[in-house]
Amino acid sequence: MDDRNAPDGGDNALGRARESLRGAGAAAFRGLLRARERVAGALGSAAGRLKESDTGERLNAALEIRRVIKRAEAAHARGNAPMAFRLLEEELRAKPGDEKLALAFWRTCVALERAPEAADGLLRVIRRRAAQGELAEAASLWCELMDVVADARADAGTLVRIVPVLVDIDRERALRALRAVLDPATPGMTPGLAMRVVEVARGLDPPSCLRAARIALDSPELADAKRTRLEELIAEIERDPAPATASEAPARATASAPAAASAPAARARPAPARAAPVAAEPADDFAEVLVEATVEAFAPATRFAGVKSMEVAPRELAEYTVELRMDDGRHGRIEYAKVQAVAVAEVAGLAAKPVLLIDLVINWSDDDGGMLRVLRLRGDRFGEQAGEPADPRAFLAQLLARSEAVPLPDAEAALGHPFRFYGDLDSYQREVLQAG
């Protein structure tokens, strides 16, 4: 027999090994395909759930806004600013509270020399930035607005906040903002703001300081000590009405030191370091500056002495007002323009279960350290009577859109995405309302 025709044992083994490897590879590939299908199915299911959730809706909305802004930027790049205007205007009508849209629309309107059409939207952005403590950004945007739309009106609270920042940037702009606060056409002036203007304007612009002091004196709620101090300040300014320049301010402060020593204690108390009109000036008395800085560093973070609240129930969101019902059954209303902030949170300790509190804040822009005044709505009492809204989230969305008030603690939490939780009323009032 010829051995050359017999199968070789080594070759057979190698062939079987190759077949085995091909089979294992094919099985592994089929396993990978099945795994990929399972992962794709899981991702698709998760994406579907996300799309239907509140988070998914917000992400979709944010992506849509981004796409619109990108399309507008592309139109600009092609030299088609009118197309960018139409895209942004249409989207902004649907989402009037979006800051990115408002800023993009402002830039487009400036390029088209139609800036007044975007001024209101930019003012809302400036107001929110100032209320959230982003003062440098708010001041920069206000300067940009004034350069193009000089007759635009920011509210008094916003202007008072940005004046100290403007002093370090441009003294003339700071004076312009300070005088705008006291213009009768400027909305939002209160006695508390007038007191704040007195502190800011003293040494920066005596005529504005004098006007603000007189406005504050007209308040029947002004404490006797503050009234006395203001009357003395008015007499002092009337004796020496010339405004102090940056170079004159230290000399005047030194010259008036003997008189200050003999003045009543209320008047002799140094102004807070935050209110110093010209931060860049060298200090005459380092010990006094050190004491003021130490007091400010260890002062509590609260802005208000406490909260003065009135519980009410919502009845209707009318065109210009919120219709309310008091506990005694009487009906009342408050204009949207008078609601400066809307604070929302779930608070424990008020009932068996945590209660959703909705506080309409009347004097959020005050800086005098007094009481914060709020109209307090309880979510557990929504829909108790005919005509009252049953859904707090829908009510909040409409209220914030119409009032353009500052949402607290932030826009997402105020709309319930999700609501913030606080273990007791004191914690909520201290952390959200900044009231001690």
**Closest residue by Cα to residue 350 from 375, 376, 329, 326:** 376
| Residue 170: pLDDT band with limits 50, 70, 90 | confident
Residue where a domain stops, chosen among 299, 317, 351: 299
317, β-bridge pairs: 322
Q: Is residue 395 part of a domain?
A: yes
In this prediction, what percent of the chain has a pLDDT beyond 90? 12
pLDDT at residue 328, as a whole number: 72
Same domain, 281 and 322: no
Q: Which of 265-279, 321-335, 417-431 has the highest mean pLDDT?
A: 417-431
pLDDT at residue 389, as a whole number: 65
For the chain, how are helix, strand and coil distributed in percent, rounded to 5? 60, 10, 30
pLDDT at residue 375, as a whole number: 93
Same domain, 389 and 411: yes
**Closest residue by Cα to residue 264 from 294, 235, 298:** 235
The predicted model scores a pTM of 0.48
**Closest residue by Cα to residue 237 from 203, 270, 262:** 203
Q: Is residue 47 part of a domain?
A: no
Q: How far is CA 43 from CA 46, 63, 147, 238, 299, in A?
A: 5, 19, 51, 74, 51
pLDDT at residue 346, as a whole number: 92
Q: Is residue 420 part of a domain?
A: yes
Question: Would you state the torsion angle of the CA atoms of residues 322, 325, 331, 334, taken in this order, to the nearest 10 degrees?
Answer: -30
pLDDT at residue 242, as a whole number: 59
**Pick the residue with more confidence: 415 or 190?**
415
Mean pLDDT, the chain, integer: 76
Least confident segment among 32-41, 222-231, 377-386, 413-422: 32-41
**Mean per-residue pLDDT, 251-268:** 36
pLDDT at residue 294, as a whole number: 42
Backbone angles phi, psi at 307, to 5 degrees: -120, 130
Same domain, 240 and 335: no
Tens-digit pLDDT profile for residues 260-274: 333 333 333 333 333
Residue where a domain stops, chosen among 279, 299, 319: 299
Same domain, 223 and 281: yes
Same domain, 340 and 368: yes
Q: Report how far residue 183's alpha carbon sits from residue 398's, in angstroms, rounded to the nearest whole number.
A: 31
Question: Rg of the Cα trace of the chain?
Answer: 32
**Closest residue by Cα to residue 109 from 127, 86, 79:** 86
73 has a pLDDT exceeding 60:
yes
| Residue 428: pLDDT band with limits 50, 70, 90 | very high
Same domain, 318 and 405: yes
Q: Is residue 118 part of a domain?
A: no
| Residue 86: pLDDT band with limits 50, 70, 90 | confident
pLDDT at residue 360, as a whole number: 95
Same domain, 310 and 411: yes
pLDDT at residue 359, as a whole number: 95
Q: Is residue 280 part of a domain?
A: yes
**Mean per-residue pLDDT, 296-303:** 52
372 has a pLDDT exceeding 50:
yes
345 has a pLDDT exceeding 70:
yes
Please state the three-class secondary structure of the chain as a single string: CCHHHCCCHHHHHHHHHHHHHHHHHHHHHHHHHHHHHHHHHHHHHHHHHHHHCHHHHHHHHHHHHHHHHHHHHHHHHCCCHHHHHHHHHHHHHHCCCCHHHHHHHHHHHHHCCCHHHHHHHHHHHHHHHHHCCCHHHHHHHHHHHHHHCCCCCCCHHHHHHHHHHHHHHCHHHHHHHHHHHCCCCCCCCCHHHHHHHHHHHCCCCHHHHHHHHHHHHCCCCCCHHHHHHHHHHHHHHHHCCCCCCCCCHHHHHHHCHHHHHHCCHHHHCCCCHHHCCCCCCCCCCHHHHHHHHHHHHHCCCCCECEEEEEEEEEEEECCCEEEEEECCCCEEEEEHHHCCEEEEEEECCCCCCCEEEEEEECCCCCCCCCEEEEEEEEHHHCCCCCCCCCCHHHHHHHHHHHHCCEEECCHHHHCCCCCCEECCHHHHHHHCCCEC
Q: Is residue 150 part of a domain?
A: no
In this prediction, what percent of the chain has a pLDDT beyond 70? 75
Tens-digit pLDDT profile for residues 233-248: 888 888 876 554 433 4
Range of the domain at 325: 306-431
Same domain, 289 and 352: no
**Mean per-residue pLDDT, 201-216:** 86
12 token code pair: 């057979």
Q: Is residue 70 part of a domain?
A: no
Which secondary-structure segment (H or E) carries 294? helix 286-298
Least confident segment among 9-13, 125-129, 292-296: 292-296
pLDDT at residue 198, as a whole number: 87
**Mean per-residue pLDDT, 353-369:** 87
Least confident segment among 2-11, 26-35, 207-216: 2-11
Same domain, 374 and 278: no
112 has a pLDDT exceeding 80:
yes
pLDDT at residue 385, as a whole number: 63
Q: Report how far residue 409's alpha carbon sits from residue 429's, in angstroms, rounded to the nearest whole number.
A: 11
Q: Is residue 137 part of a domain?
A: no
- In angstroms, the first-to-last Cα distance of the chain is 110
Residue 425, helix vs strand vs coil? helix
Residue where a domain stops, chosen among 299, 333, 353: 299
Same domain, 349 and 408: yes
Q: How many domains does the chain have?
A: 2
28 has a pLDDT exceeding 90:
no
**Mean per-residue pLDDT, 46-70:** 63
Same domain, 427 and 386: yes
CATH value at residue 408: 2.30.29
pLDDT at residue 361, as a whole number: 94
325 has a pLDDT exceeding 80:
yes
Same domain, 418 and 335: yes
